[in-house]
């Protein structure tokens, strides 16, 4: 599914994506925050980070800098003030070039359906940044009611499998109230 920046802005402005800030979406983000705090604290690059809901769950001491790369400036206007620097880049993750900016953790949560060759972009960003410790990927899990989503997630996971990255942890979060779930993978790179 490809959606223009203007469409994302219009949809955020209309409230279409407000549910992302609701409580039933927070468990998966809290798990991501826990991984950051325990394994890859420091500069966090949140690809498709939207309103920065992830930051609600990150202990402030675990983040030294937060970089949100998102096509929607309407979404990013709502990223709350933080005690550490926050950068916002209104652009596709496919075009983002980090430079050697000292990123510790890359997060791509519920965004990779919207770009082609998803894993290759994350790989290119991680290589250019250099020294990335953790990479977190979150995609919707298999769901009988949403067969297309399952297909998209499966395709993207196989791209990551081909990269052969060191998988450290994986978590499945399932909301039994609405039968929606997510698979999260945590890749940890030994930088010693």
Which of 92, 101, 143, 159 lies at the binding interface for ligand SAM (CB under 6 A)?
Answer: 92
Check binding of 42 to ligand SAM (CB under 6 A): no
Q: Does 40 bind ligand SAM (CB under 6 A)?
A: no
Structure tokens that stand for 57 in this block: 């769950």
Q: Does 71 bind ligand SAM (CB under 6 A)?
A: yes
Interaction residues for ligand SAM, span 130-189 (CB under 6 A): none
Tell me, what DSSP letter sits at residue 79? P
Nearer to ligand SAM, 70 or 183 (CB): 70
Residue 41's nearest CA partner among 65, 57, 68 is: 65
Q: Identify the residue among 41, 42, 48, 98 touching ligand SAM (CB under 6 A).
A: 48
The DSSP annotation for 6-66 comes to HHHHHHHHHTTTGGGGSGGGHHHHHHHHHHHHHH--EEEEEET-TTTGGGGGS-GGGEEEE
Q: How far is the CB of 191 from ligand SAM (least distance, A)?
A: 25
- Among the candidate windows 43-51, 98-106, 125-133, 171-179, which touches ligand SAM by CB under 6 A? 43-51
Stretch that binds ligand SAM, among 64-72, 123-131, 143-151, 152-160 (CB under 6 A): 64-72
What is the Cα–Cα distance from 54 to 155, expressed in whole angstroms?
A: 25
Rounded-to-integer distance, Cα 5 and Cα 11, Å? 10
x/- string (CB under 6 A) for ligand SAM, residues 93-132?
A: xx--------------xxx--xx-----------------
Residue 143 DSSP one-character state? -
50: left (phi over 0), alpha (psi -120 to 50) or beta: left
Contacts with ligand SAM by CB under 6 A lie at 8, 20, 25, 47-50, 53, 69-72, 75, 92-94, 109-111, 114-115
């Amino acid at each position: 599914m490809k959606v223009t920046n203007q469409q994302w802005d219009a949809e955020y402005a209309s409230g279409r994506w407000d549910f992302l800030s609701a409580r039933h979406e927070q468990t998966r983000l809290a798990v991501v925050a826990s991984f950051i705090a325990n394994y890859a604290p420091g500069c966090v690059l949140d690809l498709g980070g939207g309103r920065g809901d992830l930051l609600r769950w990150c202990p402030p001491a675990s983040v030294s800098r937060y970089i949100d790369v998102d096509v929607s400036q309407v979404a990013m206007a709502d990223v709350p003030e933080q005690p550490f620097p926050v950068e916002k880049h209104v652009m596709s993750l496919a075009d983002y070039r980090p430079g050697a900016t000292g990123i510790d953790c890359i997060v791509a949560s519920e965004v990779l359906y919207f770009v082609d060759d998803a894993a290759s972009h994350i790989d290119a960003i991680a290589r250019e940044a250099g020294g990335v410790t953790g990479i977190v990927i979150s995609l919707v899990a298999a769901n009988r009611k949403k067969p297309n989503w399952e297909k998209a997630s499966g395709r993207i996971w196989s791209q990551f499998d081909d990269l052969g990255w060191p998988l450290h942890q994986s978590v499945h979060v399932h909301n039994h109230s609405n039968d929606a779930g997510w698979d999260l993978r945590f890749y940890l790179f030994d930088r010693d």
